[in-house]
Amino acid sequence: MSSLVLRSLSILLGLFFIFIGIMKISPHISKDLHRDLRKNYVKYAKVFPLSTLLEFKIPSKWYRRSVGGLEVLCGLAMVLIPSHKIKNAANITLLLLMFLAVYSHYMVSDPFERSGPALVFTFMLIGRLVIWYQASRREAALAAAAQPTANGLKQE
């Protein structure tokens, strides 16, 4: 049951991030939304957390494109690649991007309608990691219980 939930959640989250990443990179899906994202990333680039630490101003165009590219890449990994290690690395990368998005929305005082989706997908990514952790622990416990025993002791 949990593997079905995990697989479904991975595919749905992956498809969502592919869609959102493409919208950040290209105006082919929606020109109005792409124009709105370009305008908003000018504000988000000004509050990028590492810009003050490194004394480097990141161009909003490259900030938007790199975030969109990472979202597409990680979304493709979550949809297409069967390895749990790669899926979890993509999940953690997307989770860090969502933390960055929530931080950016907070710093520019965006209304909740704008920051709400970032919060929802943050919790969904956390939930996917929790489901994977529980499923892997259950599989490890079942594998340990299935080990053959000799004279009442488990053989290693």
DSSP codes joined into one string, the chain: -HHHHHHHHHHHHHHHHHHHHHHHH-SSS-HHHHHHHHHHHHHHHHT-HHHHHHT-PPPHHHHHHHHHHHHHHHHHHHHH---HHHHHHHHHHHHHHHHHHHHHHHHTT--HHHHHHHHHHHHHHHHHHHHHHHHHHHHHHHHHHTS-EETTEE--
Average pLDDT, the chain: 88
What pTM value is reported for the model?
A: 0.84
Q: What is the pLDDT of residues 38-58, one digit of tens each?
A: 898 889 888 888 777 777 788
Whole-number percent of the chain with pLDDT over 70: 93
